[in-house]
Structure formats: C-alpha cells, structure tokens
A and B are shown apart, each in its own frame.
Chain A
Amino acid sequence: MTLDKLRAQCDRVPFFRFLGFEITDVDDDCIHARMEQSARHVGNPVLKAYHGGITASFMEAIASTAVSHNWEILRPKPINLTVDYLRPALVGTLFVRADISKKGRRMSSIETVAWQKDPAKPVAKGLFHFLLV
C-alpha cells in the first residue's frame, strides 16, 4: 500500500481521527507516525501530560496500521498487548514507530516505540499481537 492509500484508510477510522495522528513514513516492515498534542489527549491534571491510554492507543493504532499495510487486512484483530511506560509523555509532539517482529501465517507480533524530542529516550514501548485469520 502506498503512503497516500494508507493515510486514506486511517482517515476512515473515527477513533484515528479522534487521536489526530499522521503517518509520516512507511516501508515493508516499519511505519512511522507523529501526533500533535491537543487538550483532549491530556490525562494528568497536575503535569498536563498525555493520558497513558492515549499513548497506548496511538501505539496500537500504528501497530494495527502496520498489519493492515502488510497483509491488506482492513481491521486486524488484536489479541493482547503489553505497554511499558518509561518516561512521562509531556506537552509536545509524540512520535511512534512500529516494527513487525513476526510474520506468521495466523499471527503477527508488532513492536512499537514512542518518543518525544529524542528517539534514544522513549516514553513508552509496546508489544502487540494480532490475529490474521
């Protein structure tokens, strides 16, 4: 799938529009995206940081987009996920990269990383399993 086609597909998902991210780069095994912070992403009333669920949702959205892209599946079925919160995601842009670690016949495993200013200092990592059948 081309970048434009992938973006068009994402635009048709209400929850992806709610998050408001943009796919910035795509190749066979990896997808990059960015998301500007808006008031509705905030979870912590003291720090004005991203809600942990928003960070997780953004990573899951990009992970599922990587699956859609590779297997031409419109809506991949998520099986489970693990999110590791490494640093607070503060005010500013959030970047996510999703890499396909397993390309099975029935299953795929996707690794994601989210960061802000410095890719070497991730705010969260995610591991997502999807059913392909």
Chain B
Amino acid sequence: MVKKQKNNENSSKLLARAAEVWNERALGFITEMNLQIERSALDGVQLRMPYNPEFCVDEEGTMLHGGILTALLDSAFGLANFLAIEDLESMATIDLRVEYLGPAQSRADILVFAECYRQTRHVAFNSGRIWFDTNGQPEVARAMGTFSVTRGTNSLLDKLNTMGPGQ
C-alpha cells in the first residue's frame, strides 16, 4: 500500500506513485482530458494535456474553449491537494476564479502548474497557471481556487488503492 510520507528519502517516489494512482483511478472527464503527470511534489504539480480539437470553439480546431482551462485547473488543484495534505479524506471545490490572460490559440499541448500554497484544518488554498508548450508564448490563464477539506484516518489514497480502475 502506498503511503504519503513527508521527511522521508523515498518521499518523492511515493508522491509520484500516489499521483499515478490518482490518475489511473480517474474516469469520465479526467480520462477525456488525457492528463499526463510531469511533476508531482508537495509544493506543486505540473500536468500536460495533449491538444484535442474536441475542446475547441472553432471547427478548424485552433482555439480552446475557456471552460476547458477552468476544468484543467480544477483537476490540477485536486491533485495538488491530494499530494500536499497528508490525512486528506475528501475535498470539495468551494470556488474557482480564473483570469483569461489572452486567447488560447495554439495546437500545442497545454501545461498547467498548480500548488496548494496554504492548508488549514478545513480549507486548502490553491493557485495555478496555464501556458502552451511552445517557446516564448505568454501564460494564457491564471487561477485561484479554494477547497473545503475533510481530514481523517480513512485516507482518500487508501480508498483509491482499494478500487479497481475507473471505479
């Protein structure tokens, strides 16, 4: 069984494994986004979402809909919290605020960085940013999120570990 442990020399490997468990147990929309974990650490995660014309606003598939960026941030915040909060039992998004800094116009992969920059007993605070995997392009979005957190001994990680894929 995978355990999240801080202050352990193996902690980065364990975190990577925990992130993979999270991704493997995904279903529905997260599967549609086809997220790949590029970095998984206590202080933040980086995910890659491959180009998908289904998420675009135009038939030519050159511009992503803003909603997909919001969805990506929501997912990335969830994973950042999952890794950063040791005794996480469950969480729910309280609110999200997203700023669209420019048109999301590219066929390149999308990258997202998300961090849980503060956690209290009941609340996790997140920030994130999104950019295309191309040289020199500015960020396309920034976001803040707030999550309601339930802590306890029935860890979400154990729950995911005992479930089959996509359950």
A-B complex is real: yes
What number of A residues sit within 8 Å (CB to CB) of B?
33
A45-B27, A54-B71, A57-B65 known; A14+B92 contact, CB < 8 A: no
Q: CB-nearest residue of chain B relative to A58?
A: B67
A45 near B160: Cβ-Cβ < 8 Å: yes
Distance of A41 from chain B, by nearest CB (Å): 6
**Chain B nearest Cβ from A45, distance in angstroms:** 6
Is B55 in contact with chain A by the CB < 8 A criterion? yes
Q: Which residues of B contact A85 (CB under 8 A)?
A: 92-96
Q: Count residues of chain B with CB under 8 A from any CB of chain A.
A: 44
Whole-angstrom distance between the alpha carbons of A88 and B98 in the complex?
A: 20
Chain B CB within 10 A, most for which of A15, A58, A61, A81: A15
Are B98 and A80 closer than 8 Å at their CB atoms? yes
| A40 and B57 form a contact (CB under 8 A) | no
CB neighbours of B28 from chain A (8 A): 39-43, 51
Q: Which of B29, B90, B103 is in CB contact (< 8 Å) with A51? A: B29
Is the beta-carbon distance between A57 and B71 smaller than 8 angstroms?
A: yes
A92 at the B interface (CB under 8 A): no
Main secondary structure, interface of A, reads mixed
Task: Tell me the dominant secondary structure on chain B's binding face.
Answer: mixed
A79 touching B99 by the CB < 8 A rule?
A: yes
Beta-carbon contacts under 8 Å, B17-34 to A: 25-32
Q: B93 contacts which chain A residues (CB < 8 A)?
A: 52, 85
Are A15 and B57 in contact, with the CB atoms below 8 A?
yes
Top 8 A-B pairs, shortest CB-CB distance: A53-B71, A57-B67, A42-B28, A15-B65, A51-B29, A53-B74, A56-B70, A78-B66
A residues in contact (CB < 8 Å) with B: 12-15, 17-18, 39-43, 45-46, 51-54, 56-58, 60-61, 75, 77-85, 88
12 CB-based A-B contacts, threshold 8 Å = A13-B58, A14-B58, A39-B28, A40-B28, A40-B29, A41-B28, A45-B25, A45-B26, A51-B74, A75-B63, A80-B97, A85-B92
* Extra inter-chain contacts (10) besides given A80-B98, A82-B95, CB under 8 Å: A15-B64, A51-B75, A52-B71, A53-B70, A57-B67, A77-B103, A79-B99, A81-B98, A83-B96, A88-B92
